[in-house]
Amino acid sequence: MMLETERLVLRRFEESDAEDLYKYASDPDVGPIAGWPPHQSIEESLEVIRTVFCGAEAYAVCLKSDRRAIGAIELKLNGYTDMTERDGECELGYWLGKPFWGQELIPEAAREMLRHAFENLGMSKVWCGYYDGNNKSKRVQEKLGFQYQWTTEGVDVPLMHEKRTGHVNCMNKSDWERLQSDFQYVSLRERPELTFTAAQWFHSKWGVPAEAYLECMEAYIKRETEYGWYLCLAGSRIVGGLGVIDNDFHDRKDLTPNVCAVYTEEDCRGKGIAGHLLCMVVEDLRSKGITPVYLLTDHVNFYERYGWEFLCMVQGDGEPEMSRMYIHR
């Protein structure tokens, strides 16, 4: 069995993965926070592959570029988890090698595992937990849409020979289905696996080469700039989006940065998507000390609804007529 996402392959562990597993599982920043000690040798990692990562739904997390194991993710079925005793429920567990932190790879892998759990395995509920202090895992579960259930103090952590406070979350199939149909608003830093798809989507709406969008998006994801790209999703479909660049092709180079490429799919208009995205980008930039923000448009009486003010007329590059410049202070 193998699962795929935009950037990842989730495949069964093989004994040949032992060296790569040891490379990442021996890091003291990886295992202990999740409740297991660092691996001490390649031989130990091989034994873990044989005895731990052998579950029916245990997968190596691999980049598509080389398919080498950089982490693990598993749906622990009834009999292999202490969170449920029901066959139609399971527990999601995961970890990732430290060099790959901050790239949103585990949320990407977990979304596919949740789809697999509900669509392929027929699960009605997926459980997930974390120990006190594991804020990275907590944040992953929040991003995925898990709902808090309870906290228990004095939980035995046998592999670490200690007790901890544990937090438990879960997701019902109905919750997951709702997340697929509801609108979700994300930045590309939160969903970098959508970069290529987003570049193609913006290109199809505005005619600007996809390569130009990719260049700006990749600079944002790599934190070379705080000028971001923001999307509205309906399940896996992009239905709205906008970005931020230095100059939206006009002669007033002093009026920067510019919100650009604002677009909502026709069948989703009138549902507040553009307004939500506009508020999202303004608040995100303001939190980083970037204000005011500018926007070039020919529309009248739309952006005013969201706190934008008409500033002046500017000359667009190659445009016969002047266009309206707005400001959000």
Q: What domains can be seen in the chain, in order of their start residue?
A: 2-181 (3.40.630.30), 183-328 (3.40.630.30)
In sequence order, the 6+-apart residues with CB closer than 8 A to the CB of 214 are 195, 196, 199
Looking at residue 71, its pLDDT comes to 98
pLDDT for position 16:
97
Residue segments in the chain with a per-residue pLDDT below the cut of 70: none
Predicted pLDDT of residue 156? 94
- Residues 7-53 have pLDDT tens digits of 999 999 999 999 999 999 999 999 999 999 999 999 999 999 999 99
Looking at residue 46, what is its pLDDT? Answer: 98
User: Is there a cis peptide before residue 38, judged by omega within 30 degrees of 0?
Assistant: no
pLDDT at residue 269 in the model: 86
pLDDT attached to residue 327: 97
Radius of gyration of the chain (CA): 23
Whole-prediction pTM: 0.73
Q: Within a 10 A sphere around the Cβ of 303, how many other Cβ atoms?
A: 22
**Which residue in 155, 94, 151, 100 sits closest to 126, CA to CA?**
94
Q: What is the pLDDT of residue 181?
A: 72
